[in-house]
Amino acid sequence: NIANVHIAISEVFRFSSYYGNHMVLQKAPAKAVVWGFGQTGATVVVSLSGPHKVSAHSTAVINGIWRTTLKPVEAGGPYKLTASQSTTNSSITLTDVLFGDTWLCSGQSNMAFTVGQVINATKELALASKFPDVRIFQAALEQSDEELIDLARVEVPWSQPTAELLGGKKFSHFSAVCWLFGRYLYKTLKYPIGLVHSSWGGTPVEAWSSPRALHKCGLVNSILPVDTIMLENASAKWDSSVLWNAMIHPLLNMTITGAIWYQGEANTNYNRDKYNCTFPVMIDDWRMAFHEGSDGQTPLDFPFGFVQLSTCRENDTQDGFREIRWHQTADYGYAPNERMKNTFMAVAIDVPDDRSPWGSIHPEDKQDVAYRLVLGARAVAYGEKNVSFQGPFPTRAMLKQDFICIVFNQGINAIADDGFFEICCSEDKTCESDDKWLPVVIVKHGINYVHVSTPKCPAADITAVRYLWTDWPCKFKACPIYSSDGLLPAPPFILAITNQ
C-alpha cells in the first residue's frame, strides 16, 4: 500500500491518530477505511453499532498495522466503532461517530487564518454550537524528511465545533475558510460534514508535493527561501516534500470526498514560472495517492477547489501575484478546464483589505471566499444543476473600426470605468514586456459584451487584451465585470484579438 512506508511501528494497540470520538467517516456509496496499530500476528475485529446494523470485520495485524474497509454506511449516526485485539483481549471503542462527507483543507496562512481573525468574528464564533454535525480535526505543524504513515502530532482531535476551538491561536488553529466552507455546505446538504485541516503559513507548493510530482515538473529536491515579513509561523526556508511527508502522506488511507486549497503567495518569487506545472501536478498526485491509499474508495478524480490569490500591495505589478493567478489555472484563466478537470476556483481579486490587522495579504473577509468555494463544490463535486459558480469569461475579442469588442460566455453586470483593461501594441506580436501594454477604457457595455477604446497604436500592431493584470486592481467588490446577478467577478485574463 502506498501509505505504508517509512515508519517506526509501535505494537501498542490503538487506532491511527486521526480516528477518534466525534469523527466523521465517509458515507455511502464510498466505504470508509479504518486502521491502526497492534501486535503482529494478532487478529483485530472491527464492529460498528448504531442506528443501522453493520456487520463486524476481522483483519490480521501485519507488520504492526491492521486495517479494514467498512461496508458502505448511509449518512447519519451516531455510531460506536469498536476494535478488539485477540492476543491481548483488549478493545477500544470510539463514540459519537457520524457518517457524511469528509473534506481536506490545506495550504498556507490564508487557510490557517482562524475564525477568531475574520471580520464579524464574534458573530461567527457564536454560531459554532449551532452546527454540531460539522466536525473538525487538525493536524499539528510538523515536517519530515521521510514519508510518515501516521501524523506525528494532532493539534485539534475530532471535535464538535466550539467558539474556543474555532477562535484559537492565530494562524495555527482551526481554519476559517475550512470551517465556513463546511458550515455553508452543511446548510445545503443537511448531513454530517467532516473537516480535516492541514496547512502551514508561508509554505511553497514544493513543500506539499511528493518527489515524484516535483520530478514531473523538472524540479529536484531543493531548499527554497521564503519571504517571512508578511507571514506568521513561517520558516525562513523549506525543503521540498517535507509537508507532503508529515502532513499529507499520513492521511492517505482516509476516504475523502474532496479537498480545498488556499496557497500561492509563497511561490510569487520562487519557481513562479513553474507553478502552471507544479500546482496541477500536485493535484493529480494527491488524487492518485489518496485513491491508492484508500484502496480505491477515494475517487481518482476527487473534486479539488482552490482560492485564486487575492491581493498584497497596491500599485505593484512586479510582485508575481498576477502571474501566479494565471498559473493557478494552468494558464487557462478559469477552472475547471481541460488540464484541471473536476476543479473549481473561488476568485478573490475583488476582496482586497488594506485595513486588515493581519496585513493586507491576509484579508479579514473569508466569508465571500468560502461561499464562492461552496458554489463550486455544489456545481462540480455534487453536480447540482443551475448553480452559478463562475464569473464571466471572454470567448473572443474583436477589433472593430474604433473599438474592441470583448464577448463573454454569460450575461454581465458591467461598470464603465478605466484602468482595468489593457491592450498590447506590438509590431513583432510579442507581449511579454509591460511597456507594450497600453491602458484603455470601457466605452460601452451590453448584455454579454463590453467595448473598449483602441489605444494610440497602428491597427496592425493591436495583438491582445488583458484584464485586471495588476496585484491590486479594484476596490472592495468594485471590479468592472461581474455576473449578471452581480455576485461573481470575472477573473483576470489575457486574450488574443482577432479582426473578426
Is 200 in the same domain as 154? yes
The C-alpha angle with vertex 291 and arms to 290 and 292, in degrees rounded to 5, equals: 90
pLDDT value for 497: 94
What is residue 490's DSSP assignment?
Answer: P
Contact 365, 351 (CB under 8 A): yes
Half-sphere exposure of 288 (CA within 13 A, CB side): 11
pLDDT value for 9: 53
Is 434 in the same domain as 291? no
Torsion over CA: 402, 406, 412, 415 (sign):
negative
In this structure, what C-alpha cell is assigned to residue 393?
A: 469569461
CATH of the domain at 47: 2.60.40.10
pLDDT value for 4: 46
Rounded distance, CA 219 to CA 271, Å? 9
Contact 145, 244 (CB under 8 A): no
Quickly list DSSP for 41-81.
T-EEEEEEESSS-EEEEEEE-BTTEEEEEPPP--SEEEEEE
Q: Which residues, given as ranges, of the chain have pLDDT below 50?
A: 1-8, 228-230, 232-233
Is 310 in the same domain as 430? no
pLDDT value for 1: 45
Domain annotation covers residue 194? yes
Which of these three, 97, 113, 142, is where a domain ends? 97
pLDDT value for 227: 56
Contact 149, 245 (CB under 8 A): no
pLDDT value for 317: 62
Which H or E run includes 99?
strand 90-107
Is 351 in the same domain as 401? no
The C-alpha angle with vertex 473 and arms to 467 and 474, in degrees rounded to 5, equals: 110
**CB neighbours of residue 301 within 10 Å:** 14
CATH of the domain at 337: 3.40.50.1110
What is the phi/psi pair of residue 189, to 5°? Answer: -85, -30
Helices and strands, counts by H and E, the chain: 9, 25
Rounded distance, CA 18 to CA 292, Å? 18
Q: Provide the number of structural domains found in the chain.
A: 3
In this structure, what C-alpha cell is assigned to residue 195?
A: 473537516
In this structure, what C-alpha cell is assigned to residue 53?
A: 446494523
Domain annotation covers residue 1? no
Domain annotation covers residue 18? yes
pLDDT value for 229: 43
Quickly list DSSP for 170-189.
TTTSSBHHHHHHHHHHHHHH
Is 42 in the same domain as 171? no
Partnered with residue 43 across adjacent β-strands are 60
In this structure, what C-alpha cell is assigned to residue 183?
A: 458550515
Domain annotation covers residue 52? yes
Domain annotation covers residue 8? no
Is 302 in the same domain as 352? yes
The C-alpha angle with vertex 263 and arms to 344 and 310, in degrees rounded to 5, equals: 80
Domain annotation covers residue 388? no
Rounded distance, CA 216 to CA 277, Å? 8
pLDDT value for 8: 46
Is 185 in the same domain as 300? yes
Is 72 in the same domain as 41? yes
* pTM score of the predicted model: 0.94
pLDDT value for 416: 67
**CB neighbours of residue 426 within 10 Å:** 17
Domain annotation covers residue 212? yes
In this structure, what C-alpha cell is assigned to residue 54?
A: 453493520
Rounded to 10 degrees, what is the CA torsion of 286, 288, 290, 291?
A: 160
Is 35 in the same domain as 139? no
Quickly list DSSP for 219-247.
--S-EEE---TT-SS--SEEETTHHIIII
Over residues 17-41, the pLDDT tens digits come to 999 999 999 999 999 999 999 999 9
Judged on CB neighbours under 10 Å (0-12, 13-18, 19+), 121 is middle
Rounded distance, CA 279 to CA 472, Å? 23
Is 258 in the same domain as 119? yes
Which of these three, 330, 347, 381, is where a domain ends? 381
Is 203 in the same domain as 296? yes
pLDDT value for 125: 96
Is 45 in the same domain as 116? no
Domain annotation covers residue 389? no
Rounded distance, CA 350 to CA 99, Å? 37
Cis peptide before 132 (omega within 30 of 0): no
Which of these three, 97, 115, 150, is where a domain ends? 97
What is the phi/psi pair of residue 280, to 5°? Answer: -60, -40
Which H or E run includes 125?
helix 121-126
Domain that holds residue 428: 394-498
